[in-house]
Amino acid sequence: EQFDTTSAAGEMVIYTIANIAQFERRQTSERISANFLARAQRGLYNGGAIPLGYELDPDRKGHLLVRQSEAKMIQDVFKTFLEKETIVEAGRALNVKGYEISRRRSGGGGNRARLGCFTHGNIYKRLTNKTYIGIRTFNISGEEKTTKASWEPIITQETFDAAKEQLAKNY
Protein backbone atom coordinates (compact mmCIF):
# COMPACT_ATOMS: atom_id res chain seq x y z
CA GLU A 1 0.00 0.00 0.00
CA GLN A 2 1.02 3.55 -0.48
CA PHE A 3 1.25 5.78 2.55
CA ASP A 4 1.93 9.47 2.51
CA THR A 5 4.91 9.71 4.85
CA THR A 6 5.12 13.45 4.42
CA SER A 7 2.12 13.90 6.73
CA ALA A 8 2.03 13.19 10.45
CA ALA A 9 -0.84 10.70 10.04
CA GLY A 10 0.97 8.74 7.30
CA GLU A 11 4.15 8.60 9.34
CA MET A 12 2.18 7.38 12.38
CA VAL A 13 0.56 4.58 10.32
CA ILE A 14 3.96 3.38 9.03
CA TYR A 15 5.47 3.38 12.55
CA THR A 16 2.41 1.58 13.94
CA ILE A 17 2.63 -1.16 11.29
CA ALA A 18 6.39 -1.51 11.92
CA ASN A 19 5.83 -1.79 15.69
CA ILE A 20 3.14 -4.45 15.24
CA ALA A 21 5.43 -6.42 12.93
CA GLN A 22 8.29 -6.20 15.44
CA PHE A 23 5.93 -7.32 18.24
CA GLU A 24 4.84 -10.35 16.20
CA ARG A 25 8.44 -11.28 15.40
CA ARG A 26 9.50 -11.07 19.06
CA GLN A 27 6.43 -12.95 20.25
CA THR A 28 7.15 -15.77 17.77
CA SER A 29 10.77 -15.87 18.95
CA GLU A 30 9.68 -16.09 22.60
CA ARG A 31 7.27 -18.93 21.82
CA ILE A 32 9.94 -20.90 19.95
CA SER A 33 12.47 -20.40 22.77
CA ALA A 34 9.92 -21.47 25.38
CA ASN A 35 9.09 -24.58 23.34
CA PHE A 36 12.79 -25.49 22.95
CA LEU A 37 13.29 -25.10 26.70
CA ALA A 38 10.20 -27.19 27.53
CA ARG A 39 11.39 -29.96 25.19
CA ALA A 40 14.90 -29.83 26.69
CA GLN A 41 13.47 -30.07 30.22
CA ARG A 42 11.61 -33.21 29.13
CA GLY A 43 14.93 -34.67 27.89
CA LEU A 44 14.12 -34.44 24.19
CA TYR A 45 16.55 -33.76 21.35
CA ASN A 46 15.94 -30.32 19.79
CA GLY A 47 17.96 -30.55 16.61
CA GLY A 48 21.46 -29.71 15.50
CA ALA A 49 24.26 -32.14 14.75
CA ILE A 50 23.46 -35.59 16.08
CA PRO A 51 26.27 -36.89 18.30
CA LEU A 52 28.38 -39.71 16.90
CA GLY A 53 26.86 -42.97 18.10
CA TYR A 54 23.24 -41.89 17.71
CA GLU A 55 20.63 -41.47 14.99
CA LEU A 56 17.16 -39.95 14.93
CA ASP A 57 14.31 -42.23 15.91
CA PRO A 58 12.00 -42.11 12.87
CA ASP A 59 8.99 -43.13 14.96
CA ARG A 60 9.32 -40.71 17.88
CA LYS A 61 10.21 -37.05 17.48
CA GLY A 62 12.88 -35.80 19.87
CA HIS A 63 14.25 -39.28 20.56
CA LEU A 64 17.59 -40.73 19.50
CA LEU A 65 18.49 -44.35 18.87
CA VAL A 66 21.89 -45.86 19.55
CA ARG A 67 23.77 -46.66 16.33
CA GLN A 68 25.59 -49.81 17.46
CA SER A 69 28.60 -49.60 15.13
CA GLU A 70 29.41 -46.06 16.25
CA ALA A 71 28.51 -46.79 19.88
CA LYS A 72 31.27 -49.41 20.03
CA MET A 73 33.69 -46.77 18.72
CA ILE A 74 32.58 -44.28 21.41
CA GLN A 75 33.02 -46.93 24.10
CA ASP A 76 36.51 -47.61 22.76
CA VAL A 77 37.31 -43.87 22.86
CA PHE A 78 36.63 -43.85 26.60
CA LYS A 79 38.39 -47.18 27.20
CA THR A 80 41.48 -46.16 25.23
CA PHE A 81 41.66 -42.77 26.93
CA LEU A 82 41.50 -44.38 30.37
CA GLU A 83 44.25 -46.84 29.38
CA LYS A 84 46.56 -44.28 27.74
CA GLU A 85 45.70 -41.48 30.20
CA THR A 86 46.22 -38.67 27.66
CA ILE A 87 44.13 -37.48 24.76
CA VAL A 88 47.10 -37.36 22.39
CA GLU A 89 48.11 -40.97 23.08
CA ALA A 90 44.50 -42.12 22.92
CA GLY A 91 44.12 -40.38 19.55
CA ARG A 92 47.21 -42.08 18.17
CA ALA A 93 46.02 -45.48 19.37
CA LEU A 94 42.50 -44.98 18.02
CA ASN A 95 43.76 -43.83 14.62
CA VAL A 96 46.07 -46.87 14.42
CA LYS A 97 43.03 -49.11 15.03
CA GLY A 98 41.68 -47.77 11.76
CA TYR A 99 38.35 -46.37 12.89
CA GLU A 100 36.60 -44.43 10.19
CA ILE A 101 34.49 -41.56 11.46
CA SER A 102 31.78 -40.68 8.99
CA ARG A 103 32.69 -37.36 7.39
CA ARG A 104 29.02 -36.59 6.88
CA ARG A 105 27.15 -35.20 9.88
CA SER A 106 23.70 -36.51 10.69
CA GLY A 107 20.91 -34.03 11.33
CA GLY A 108 21.55 -30.32 11.34
CA GLY A 109 24.63 -28.71 12.78
CA GLY A 110 26.33 -26.93 9.99
CA ASN A 111 27.86 -27.88 6.71
CA ARG A 112 31.41 -28.58 7.89
CA ALA A 113 32.42 -32.17 7.31
CA ARG A 114 34.13 -34.18 10.02
CA LEU A 115 37.82 -34.88 9.55
CA GLY A 116 37.35 -38.64 9.44
CA CYS A 117 40.00 -39.35 12.10
CA PHE A 118 40.46 -38.75 15.81
CA THR A 119 41.95 -35.44 16.92
CA HIS A 120 42.58 -33.87 20.31
CA GLY A 121 39.51 -31.68 19.91
CA ASN A 122 37.01 -34.30 18.86
CA ILE A 123 38.19 -36.79 21.50
CA TYR A 124 37.86 -34.14 24.22
CA LYS A 125 34.38 -33.29 22.95
CA ARG A 126 33.31 -36.90 23.24
CA LEU A 127 34.86 -37.40 26.68
CA THR A 128 32.95 -34.40 28.05
CA ASN A 129 29.63 -34.88 26.23
CA LYS A 130 26.93 -35.86 28.76
CA THR A 131 24.76 -37.10 25.89
CA TYR A 132 26.75 -40.33 26.07
CA ILE A 133 25.55 -41.02 29.64
CA GLY A 134 21.92 -40.28 28.78
CA ILE A 135 21.88 -36.74 30.17
CA ARG A 136 20.29 -33.77 28.37
CA THR A 137 21.94 -30.43 29.13
CA PHE A 138 20.40 -27.00 28.56
CA ASN A 139 20.81 -23.43 29.77
CA ILE A 140 18.42 -21.27 31.74
CA SER A 141 19.62 -17.69 32.17
CA GLY A 142 23.22 -18.74 31.52
CA GLU A 143 23.14 -21.56 34.10
CA GLU A 144 23.64 -25.12 32.86
CA LYS A 145 20.88 -27.52 33.89
CA THR A 146 20.57 -31.25 33.26
CA THR A 147 17.80 -33.82 33.04
CA LYS A 148 17.49 -37.49 32.10
CA ALA A 149 17.50 -37.77 28.34
CA SER A 150 14.93 -39.61 26.24
CA TRP A 151 17.67 -41.79 24.72
CA GLU A 152 19.73 -44.68 26.05
CA PRO A 153 23.26 -44.03 27.31
CA ILE A 154 26.27 -45.48 25.51
CA ILE A 155 28.70 -45.01 28.41
CA THR A 156 28.21 -45.82 32.09
CA GLN A 157 28.27 -43.03 34.65
CA GLU A 158 31.34 -44.63 36.28
CA THR A 159 33.31 -44.63 33.00
CA PHE A 160 32.30 -41.02 32.29
CA ASP A 161 33.33 -39.94 35.81
CA ALA A 162 36.67 -41.78 35.51
CA ALA A 163 37.39 -39.98 32.22
CA LYS A 164 36.39 -36.65 33.78
CA GLU A 165 38.73 -37.31 36.70
CA GLN A 166 41.63 -38.21 34.37
CA LEU A 167 41.01 -35.05 32.32
CA ALA A 168 41.15 -32.99 35.54
CA LYS A 169 44.47 -34.66 36.50
CA ASN A 170 45.88 -33.90 33.05
CA TYR A 171 44.82 -30.28 33.23
Q: Among positive and negative, which fits the CA dihedral 42, 47, 52, 56? A: positive
Q: What pLDDT is stored for residue 106 in this prediction?
A: 57
Cα–Cα distance between 57 and 93 in angstroms, integer? 32
Q: What pLDDT is stored for residue 158 in this prediction?
A: 95
Cβ pair 155, 75 in contact under 8 A: yes
For helices 68-84 and 87-96, the axis angle rounded to 10 degrees is 130
For the entire predicted model, the pTM comes to: 0.75
For residue range 105-128, list pLDDT tens digits in order.
555 555 555 566 788 888 999 999
b/e burial code for range 140-159 (CB count within 10 A of at least 16 → b):
eeeeeeeeebbbebbbeeeb
Q: Which helix (H) or strand (E) holds 71?
A: helix 68-84
Q: What pLDDT is stored for residue 47 in this prediction?
A: 80
| Per-run averaged pLDDT (10 residues), the chain, 171 residues | 84 94 96 91 87 88 90 94 93 85 59 68 92 92 90 95 94 84
For residue range 157-170, list pLDDT tens digits in order.
999 999 999 999 98
